[in-house]
Amino acid sequence: MVHKPLQGMVVLDFSQFLSGPYAGLRLADLGARVIKVERPDGGDLCRRLYISNLELDGDSTLFHSINRNKESFSVNLKDPQERQTVIELLKKADIMIQNYRPGVIEKLGYSYEEVKAINPGIIYGSISGYGTEGPLLDKPGQDLLVQSFAGIPWLSGDTGRDPMPFGLAIADMMAGAHLVQGILAAAVRRAITGQGARIETSLLESTLDTMQEVWCDVLQQTDDKDKLEPVAASRGRKVEPPMATGIYAVQDGYIALGSMPIAALDQLIGCKEMEQEGKLLEKAEGNTQENVEETGEIEETVETVETVETVEIEETEETGEQIGERIRRKLQEHLLQRPASHWVSKLAQHGLPCVQVTDWHNLLQHDAFRQLEMIQQISRPNGVSMSALRCPIRIDGERFTSPKGSPTIGEHNERITADLIGNRMGG
């Protein structure tokens, strides 16, 4: 049996929905004993958070996926008579996680200061929606709302279209991942100093941190609206020409082109009419290939492309963006003439980055996916089982998997009481 790095650590997870439970999931994958502290009447609200109409053994498939490999202890946090039970658990815990709205956990009597008084060495992890101070302090920190406030919807979809939210709960999942990073850093410090810690992050902070590609430009702008406009106009992750980067329709679906100069592409795919446009673009932009950051493979490809006759460039008043858009349209028209396999194979021969946009059914059949061995089977004691993804982390080449499914509400009360509380109740 593999000895996982967090084996022996106890995590009390008071969180619900996605962000906190995702943090707990990763700690469980790494070997920690993660105990979900749930309400007896309904438990974690994620049990009823449905992505589709699929339900398994009374809980949503999302709950099963995010809460596999955990235990459940049901207790009424509002009942003073049950407080001693929670206190005894906190005494034995290494880590506590909570994602209540700011002020709620304090009302329940489990603020960091109160928990620290019970267990000075505990690592106390908190996730909020917008942080622990400021005008949005008490606002609902739901993923869609935070994404929208952070401006994520302006980055999705096509230029000139309405804003579109990202298709995944990126704010929730990134906040959970960032909380784990903080917890692990605090665990290293505690191993050296014995000192506990309070770790805090928020959906908003995590989302903003994920947007480094945007903020590296935005923060260099002034408050001048005209200067901000080019950034606002870059919806849909457009890359400034003369790069061909983007997703294009082909005869049987779509392909994605990575960073490659149009100068390398027009001749390779046999689209001669793009050459003249490319030269116009370079003239309009005052841009040459030396200004384009290329990989070694792309540089080599450009050098080996068959030389074509020099074309004289007429003067133009068009902007680089206008010419670039026209080039993209011609490229799109040309790519529609052949299937994805043709273009992927042709560009791969010259080391140019290109993949087919794959749907999930075909991805499951692809050798690249199969060789990762990402799928595992998880089961509950009653025999109910489902497929789920494993932990994406490998240590010393070892993949971390666990067949243990998600818990039912209060399933492990008796075992947890025996292991962690024993006869210390009332004394």
Contact (CB, 8 A) for 217 and 231: yes
Q: Give the number of residues written for the chain.
A: 427
* pLDDT in the model for residue 311: 43
* pLDDT in the model for residue 325: 78
Q: Identify the architecture of domain 10-210+373-421 in CATH.
A: 3-Layer(aba) Sandwich (3.40)
pTM across the whole model:
0.85
Instruction: Please give the CATH number for the structural domain made up of 239-364.
Output: 3.30.1540.10
Q: Which of 144, 162, 147 is nearest to 210 (CA)?
A: 147
* pLDDT in the model for residue 219: 85
The answer to whether 172 is a known catalytic residue is yes
* pLDDT in the model for residue 275: 62
* pLDDT in the model for residue 287: 47
**Separation CA 112–CA 14 (nearest Å):** 13
Query: Which sequence spans correspond to the domains of the chain?
Result: 10-210+373-421, 239-364
pLDDT < 50 regions, the chain:
227-241, 287-313, 426-427
* pLDDT in the model for residue 289: 41
Residue 95 CB coordination number (10 Å): 28
Residues contacting residue 318 through CB under 8 Å, at least 6 positions apart? 280, 284
**In this structure, what token pair is assigned to residue 192?**
């050296």
Burial (CB < 10 A; 0-12, 13-18, 19+), residue 283, is: middle
* pLDDT in the model for residue 192: 98
* pLDDT in the model for residue 282: 62
Domains 10-210+373-421 and 239-364 share a fold: no
**Separation CA 152–CA 106 (nearest Å):** 32
Catalytic choice (59, 143, 172, 266)? 172
**394-395 and 385-389 strand pairing:** unpaired
**95-98 and 123-128 strand pairing:** parallel
